[in-house]
A and B are shown apart, each in its own frame.
Chain A
Amino acid sequence: MNGIVLKTEHLTMQFGGVVAVDDLNIEIPQGHITALIGPNGAGKTTAFNVITGGYMPTNGRVVFHDKVIGENHPRSKMKKIYNGSDRTTFHHQVVNTPDKITRLGMARTFQNIRLFKELSVFENVLIAKHCRIKAGMLSATFRLNHVEERTMREQTQELLKTVGLADLAREKASSLPYGKQRRLEIARALATSPSLLLLDEPAAGMNPKETEELAQFIKDIKDSFNLTVFLIEHHMNLVMDISDKIYVLDYGKTIAMGTPKEVQNDPAVIRAYLGVEDE
């Protein structure tokens, strides 16, 4: 395991002529909070989608707990545009659908909240437990798995208590306030018992106080669920506060990486965020 939970090697994602993610190399050590930041359209969410199996990368490899979960090599017309140094290194194609990757222990949330809106808070979390079910369809129908079912329900109740949504368990997910919906989405991701949690802009649309609470919440769940966290974020306060390491993307390229302090003073980052002074 050597301490690295997730590693991407030369990860490139190209849509037609647009290179959304260009040669991304990330290493996320066990138990760390790593952040991916960058201006709008820098390719952060695309990177997430490639890592979680939503897209097949144009080039490169995603390694999760020493297991290759996604790998591709540049082919056909993509080859002409992509000129990464190691472009001939990868010869296989490994494709995994998002559900398989989730079952391997990588859970994610979405930038625009994607809850099961018409279902209750409790059901939202309970459904996420389905991916660990052992009973087959028939035995579930005839309730031969009632012990398992009961455990699932108890664990769900417990989890809701941990994230502070226990008293809202019967509410419809869409009726929750925005901040709670974010929290529920994280709870739902936690219900799949992941070892790596990917958060896509968890603080989007939150006020400073809520953001502060969220920072504490992320730290708490990281410790209590023994997680590694990888997050995309725009709120600099949050990122600087909780991250151990930051990667900065701009136009798909990694322009800086390092500890919060290093990144903050990096001229390339300042340029990307604030623009260049006209001389």
Chain B
Amino acid sequence: MRRSRNTVLSVISAGVFLAILYMLNLNRAGNGMLISIMQKSAIFALVAVSMNLLNGFTGLFSLGQAGFMSIGAYTTAILLIPVQSLDGVYYMNGINPGIRALKVFLSALPPWFQSVYPFVALIIGALFAAVIASIVGVAVLRLKSDYLAIATLGLSEIIRALFSSPQLDGITNGSYGLNKIPAFPKMFGGLVPPIITPFIVSAVCITLIVLLIRSSYGRAFMAIREDEIAAEAMGISLFKHKSMSFIISSFFSALAGGMLAMYMRSIEAKTFSITLTYDILLIVVIGGIGSVTGSVLGAFLVTASKEWWLRFFDQPLELFGWDVPLFRTGFRMVIFSILLMMVVLIYRRGLMGTNEFSWDRIFGRFKWKRKKVQGGGS
């Protein structure tokens, strides 16, 4: 009974969220800011969850997320820039003739293909990143803890440097970056409007990750996190499971990277610097290492407070004729950092710790409070 109640509550809240999104879609003129923040949050939620799969559930401290995101972003962008815009984008060095020929060929395919093509492009980008991860993983996954972090950080910088190198001008447009990337496509023939697409894609991907975590393989990942030696003694192949986790995490990071390219409409190698990885790490840590719902929650909270709630700190403020000092551009980040420190000090293990959101806990909390009140009265 409790289980069915929880299911009903989950379906209702998902429905409410979807209804809000559709409402925003209808009134998108006045809500541009809110929509774009929520889209960014949804994309970051997916990256954070995929990073959590690796860092929180498998216990591999990797900092290569930005690198894999850039692989996905660049691949998706190159595949998606319309043929007629190519000359405008590659105005400095021209485009590699092979890629142009491929794109001309693809643009001649029938309309049904064109409608799924953006998603195909996303998946191709993700698969490409997964292949890179499987090759790199052989070398990198021998390392442990800090060393793995440094190696993956280096890897992500190498990828970034490669993308902006002049040798790849014909493909990645070097340091000029790519622009004129088409925005999000609609899904299911317009049933899902373009604005909502990133939410649906993120939700589907996060669901897949959760299903994986809850399967036998996910449990094996957690065993590796808890104790590598014991896990190996229980017949869990460390190399196989670690690379599995690494590849899947890279796959979904790259997919989110592709969505980020659609979201930003223009990308350059600088977008995917170390700071991006740190932003995501921040979300994971704030949400709770080892909690999927924590990562999702963290993505929305961190993005919203960074881009929206704290905005007013950046404007000069006058209170009763007194010009409040410090309220200048950039002050918001100071406040943001202070808030972060406070959150980390109060919630030592992130907002959710290693727990997942559950209705039972919420109701349990109410019950506990009620009991406590009764106890106090008697």
| A→B interface (CB under 8 Å) | 52, 54, 97-100, 102-103, 107-108, 110, 114-119, 123, 126-133, 135, 137, 140-143, 145, 149, 152, 188-189, 191-192
- Indicate if B92 sits at the interface (CB-CB under 8 A): no
List A contacts of B226 (CB < 8 A).
115-119
- B233→A127 contact, CB < 8 A: no
Please give the distance in Å from B90's CB to the nearest CB on chain A.
38
Chain B residues 231 to 261 lying within 8 A of chain A, measured CB to CB, are 231-238, 244
A137-B244 Cα distance, complex, nearest whole Å: 9
- A149→B233 contact, CB < 8 A: no
- A192→B235 contact, CB < 8 A: yes
Of chain B, the residue at the smallest CB distance from A185 is B230
- Indicate if B217 sits at the interface (CB-CB under 8 A): yes
Of chain B, the residue at the smallest CB distance from A118 is B226
- A128→B235 contact, CB < 8 A: yes
- Indicate if B215 sits at the interface (CB-CB under 8 A): yes
A255-B215 Cα distance, complex, nearest whole Å: 49
List B contacts of A142 (CB < 8 A).
211
Q: Mark B54-91, 1 if CB is under 8 A from A, else 0.
A: 00000000000000000000000000000000000000
Partner of A152, one of B216, B223, B229: B216
Known: A98-B232, A108-B233, A131-B234. 4 other contacts (CB 8 A): A97-B238, A130-B234, A137-B212, A191-B234
| Residue in A52, A110, A123, A140 whose Cβ sees the most chain B Cβ within 10 Å | A140
List B contacts of A129 (CB < 8 A).
216
Of chain B, the residue at the smallest CB distance from A136 is B217
Give me 5 A-to-B residue pairs in the complex whose CB atoms sit less than 8 angstroms apart, sorted by A's number.
Answer: A115-B230, A116-B227, A123-B222, A126-B216, A149-B215
List A contacts of B238 (CB < 8 A).
97, 99
A115-B226 Cα distance, complex, nearest whole Å: 8
Of chain A, the residue at the smallest CB distance from B226 is A116
A98-B208 Cα distance, complex, nearest whole Å: 31
The B contact surface, by secondary structure, is: helix
- B236→A131 contact, CB < 8 A: yes
- Indicate if B219 sits at the interface (CB-CB under 8 A): yes
- A98→B223 contact, CB < 8 A: no
A54-B229 Cα distance, complex, nearest whole Å: 9
- B219→A141 contact, CB < 8 A: no
List A contacts of B134 (CB < 8 A).
none
| Residue in A99, A107, A117, A131 whose Cβ sees the most chain B Cβ within 10 Å | A99
Of chain A, the residue at the smallest CB distance from B222 is A119
List A contacts of B223 (CB < 8 A).
116, 119, 127, 130
List A contacts of B45 (CB < 8 A).
none
- B215→A141 contact, CB < 8 A: yes
- B215→A140 contact, CB < 8 A: yes
Ranked 4 nearest A-B pairs via Cβ: A131-B235, A102-B235, A116-B226, A114-B230
A107-B235 Cα distance, complex, nearest whole Å: 9
- Indicate if B354 sits at the interface (CB-CB under 8 A): yes
List A contacts of B283 (CB < 8 A).
none
- A133→B232 contact, CB < 8 A: no
List B contacts of A137 (CB < 8 A).
212, 215, 217, 244
A115-B212 Cα distance, complex, nearest whole Å: 23
- A110→B230 contact, CB < 8 A: yes
Please give the distance in Å from A57's CB to the nearest CB on chain B.
18
Of chain A, the residue at the smallest CB distance from B235 is A131
- A192→B234 contact, CB < 8 A: yes
Question: Are A102 and B234 also in contact (CB < 8 A) when A116-B223, A116-B227, A118-B226 are?
Answer: yes
- B230→A97 contact, CB < 8 A: no
A26-B231 Cα distance, complex, nearest whole Å: 27
A100-B232 Cα distance, complex, nearest whole Å: 9
- A110→B233 contact, CB < 8 A: yes
List A contacts of B222 (CB < 8 A).
116, 119, 123, 127
- Indicate if B220 sits at the interface (CB-CB under 8 A): yes
List A contacts of B219 (CB < 8 A).
119, 123, 126-127, 130
| Residue in B230, B231, B237 whose Cβ sees the most chain A Cβ within 10 Å | B230
A118-B355 Cα distance, complex, nearest whole Å: 11
A59-B212 Cα distance, complex, nearest whole Å: 42
List B contacts of A127 (CB < 8 A).
219-220, 222-223, 231, 234, 236
- B216→A98 contact, CB < 8 A: no
Please give the distance in Å from B57's CB to the nearest CB on chain A.
11
List B contacts of A130 (CB < 8 A).
216-217, 219-220, 223, 234-236
List B contacts of A100 (CB < 8 A).
237
Please give the distance in Å from B231's CB to the nearest CB on chain A.
8
Question: Are A140 and B216 also in contact (CB < 8 A) when A102-B234, A127-B234, A131-B235 are?
Answer: yes
Please give the distance in Å from B236's CB to the nearest CB on chain A.
6
- B217→A98 contact, CB < 8 A: no
Partner of A133, one of B216, B227, B230, B233: B216
List B contacts of A188 (CB < 8 A).
234
A188-B217 Cα distance, complex, nearest whole Å: 17
List A contacts of B234 (CB < 8 A).
99, 102, 107, 127-128, 130-131, 188-189, 191-192
- B232→A97 contact, CB < 8 A: yes
Of chain A, the residue at the smallest CB distance from B244 is A137
List A contacts of B235 (CB < 8 A).
99, 102-103, 128, 130-132, 192
A37-B208 Cα distance, complex, nearest whole Å: 50
Of chain B, the residue at the smallest CB distance from A194 is B235
List B contacts of A119 (CB < 8 A).
219, 222-223, 226
List A contacts of B229 (CB < 8 A).
54, 98, 110, 114
- A102→B233 contact, CB < 8 A: yes
- B211→A98 contact, CB < 8 A: no
List B contacts of A114 (CB < 8 A).
227, 229-230, 233
A5-B217 Cα distance, complex, nearest whole Å: 31
